[in-house]
Amino acid sequence: RKEVEQDPGPFNVPEGATVAFNCTYSNSASQSFFWYRQDCRKEPKLLMSVYSSGNEDGRFTAQLNRASQYISLLIRDSKLSDSATYLCVVNARDSGAGSYQLTFGKGTKLSVIP
């Protein structure tokens, strides 16, 4: 089973639509969760962290369900500029090695259509 799984899409939605992305993770000991955004042929950039109580940043809402090991991102009133790939990211600490690393999903591609 992959550590972080996402629906690859693409999601093609009209401007103004609401779209939701889901992500599941396999490591129950994961501690921190994020959404990164990656534009075509560009580097990933942090979009927002995901908190247990859920959090909102403008048109973007992120939610976490630890029991189900599930993360979501909701985009309201989508804009053309939201077209990108959205990467679900989990902090997967390796307690044995004392190592720390982020594990990235492969991403969900969103295309917002005029």
Partner 1 sequence: DAGVIQSPRHEVTEMGQEVTLRCKPISGHDYLFWYRQTMMRGLELLIYFNNNVPIDDSGMPEDRFSAKMPNASFSTLKIQPSEPRDSAVYFCASSLRGDRETQYFGPGTRLLVL
> Which residue ranges make up the site for partner 1 (CB under 8 A)?
32, 34, 42-46, 49, 87, 91, 94, 97, 99-107
Query: What is the DSSP secondary structure assignment for residue 26, as one 8-state letter?
Result: S
**Smallest separation, CB 13 to partner 1 (Å):** 23
**Smallest separation, CB 49 to partner 1 (Å):** 8
**Smallest separation, CB 72 to partner 1 (Å):** 19
Tokens of 34: 């994020």
57 forms beta bridges with 60
Tokens of 111: 């295309």
- Considering the complex, state which of residue 15 and residue 39 has its C-beta at the smaller distance from partner 1: 39
Q: Are the beta carbons of 85 and 68 closer than 8 angstroms? A: no
